[in-house]
């Protein structure tokens, strides 16, 4: 008997037993206000996309990165597809459709409380034509009785050949983990696309601007929410130690809207700052001096040059 035995070549048994790492990109698609951004935040366990009761809040394709043992899924939250009334609306629809390029799985989200409609049928047809693995989601089931869920699930199933259909409540986090597992099972083996600690590739200044826009839209929800755009002009060390200074501009379309956003003696603008500051501080990790200004950008939703300047 030899006193030394060479170990076998190849993969060690413990490595061979390890499941393969999965990674891929999943687009979250749906009509306005069905809960796509709320779903993204629930999946990540962190607020990456702003949410308001106002339809068409999301204006960009927002990537959220979920890294778990053995997998990494990049979720792309898209603007709600709708019948556009402005150039901005048309561009938002383009953003949503372009988000399907290069993805591995698509999720169609519907509003269980409002029911499946023609807009859902249009999107289901669009997604079915893409040839992507397709998962259907009936959201907001916490707002309807259990018996009312079955007709909604059946109505969604009639729109396309879904791989899976899942009832969820993104607001409460119900069935969200089940949905993530179903999506993960439909992406290929591969290495992570982003560093494990990364939650989004959206830059900090844009995230701060979105938080300000969220608070402004909520404050203006009965008046000028869609006429609001926000740009962070400057961000850096403040005058005091441990304070970050943020200078942001809220743009409106008409001169009369400036007074509405500012409010009597600046009360509305001050409230927007007060509401936004805690979330901006939590995001940046320091105390924040938040300086908000209001400027006019005439008819910016219909002006190609202005839209580009504002990041749309």
> Could you read off the pLDDT of 162-199 as tens digits, one per residue?
999 999 999 999 999 999 999 999 999 999 999 999 99
User: Residue 40 sits in which domain range?
Assistant: 16-184
- Within-domain flag for 163: yes
Instruction: State what percent of residues in the chain have pLDDT above 90.
Output: 79
- What is the C-alpha radius of gyration for the chain, rounded to an integer number of angstroms? 23
Residues 148 and 231 in one domain: no
Last residue of a domain, which of 136, 154, 184? 184
pLDDT attached to residue 92: 84
Residues 88 and 214 in one domain: no
Residues 88 and 129 in one domain: yes
Last residue of a domain, which of 184, 212, 242? 184
Residues 251 and 118 in one domain: no
> Residue 34 belongs to a domain with what CATH number?
3.40.50.300
Residues 257/224, Cβ–Cβ less than 8 Å: yes
Residues 226 and 176 in one domain: no
More confident residue, 54 or 280: 280
Residues 45 and 156 in one domain: yes
Which SS3 state, helix, strand or coil, does residue 308 take? helix
Residues 21 and 156 in one domain: yes
- Within-domain flag for 226: yes
- Within-domain flag for 39: yes
Last residue of a domain, which of 184, 212, 240? 184
Tell me the per-residue pLDDT of 289-301, one tens digit each, with 9 for 90 and over.
Answer: 999 999 999 999 9
Residues 216 and 276 in one domain: yes
Which SS3 state, helix, strand or coil, does residue 62 take? strand
DSSP H helices in 106-194? 118-130, 146-157, 176-184
pTM of the model: 0.89
pLDDT attached to residue 10: 47
For the chain, the domain total comes to 2
End-to-end Cα, the chain, rounded Å: 75
Mean pLDDT of 123-136: 94
Residues 119 and 258 in one domain: no
- Pairing state between β 71-77 and 62-68: antiparallel
Tell me the per-residue pLDDT of 218-269, one tens digit each, with 9 for 90 and over.
Answer: 998 777 878 999 999 999 999 999 999 999 999 999 999 999 999 999 999 9
Residues 51/125, Cβ–Cβ less than 8 Å: no
Residues 213 and 276 in one domain: yes
Mean pLDDT of 43-65: 93
| Residue 154 pLDDT > 60 | yes
Tell me the per-residue pLDDT of 85-107, one tens digit each, with 9 for 90 and over.
Answer: 888 889 888 888 888 889 999 99
pLDDT attached to residue 255: 92
Q: How many angstroms from the chain centroid is the CA of residue 196?
A: 19
What are residue 290's DSSP bridge partners? 246
């Amino acid at each position: 008997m030899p006193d030394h035995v060479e170990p076998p070549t190849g993969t060690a048994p413990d490595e061979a037993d390890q499941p393969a790492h999965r990674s891929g990109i999943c687009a979250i698609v749906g009509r306005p206000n069905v809960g796509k951004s709320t779903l993204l935040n629930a999946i990540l366990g962190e607020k990456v996309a702003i949410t308001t009761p106002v339809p068409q809040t999301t204006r960009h394709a927002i990537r959220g990165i979920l890294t778990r043992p053995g997998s990494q899924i990049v979720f792309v939250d898209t603007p709600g597809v709708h019948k556009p009334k402005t150039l901005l609306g048309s561009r938002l629809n383009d953003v949503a459709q372009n988000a399907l390029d290069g993805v591995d799985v698509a999720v169609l989200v519907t509003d269980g409380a409002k029911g499946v409609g023609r807009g859902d049928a249009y999107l289901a047809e669009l997604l079915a034509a893409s040839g992507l693995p397709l998962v259907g989601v009936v959201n907001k089931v916490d707002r309807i009785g259990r018996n009312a869920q079955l007709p909604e699930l059946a109505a969604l199933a009639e729109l396309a050949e879904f791989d899976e259909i899942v009832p969820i409540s993104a607001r409460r986090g119900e069935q969200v983990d089940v949905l993530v597992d179903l999506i993960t099972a439909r992406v290929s083996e591969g290495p992570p696309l982003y560093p494990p600690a990364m939650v989004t590739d959206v830059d900090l200044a844009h995230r701060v601007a979105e938080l300000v826009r969220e608070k402004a839209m909520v404050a203006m929800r009965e008046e000028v929410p869609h006429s609001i755009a926000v740009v962070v002009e400057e961000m850096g060390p403040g005058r005091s130690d441990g304070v970050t200074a943020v200078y942001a501009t809220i743009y409106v379309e008409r001169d009369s809207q400036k007074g509405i956003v500012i409010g009597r003696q600046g009360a509305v603008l001050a409230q927007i700052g007060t509401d936004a500051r805690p979330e901006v501080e939590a995001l940046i990790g320091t105390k924040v001096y938040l300086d908000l200004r209001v400027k006019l950008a005439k008819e910016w939703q219909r002006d190609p040059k202005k839209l580009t300047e504002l990041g749309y």
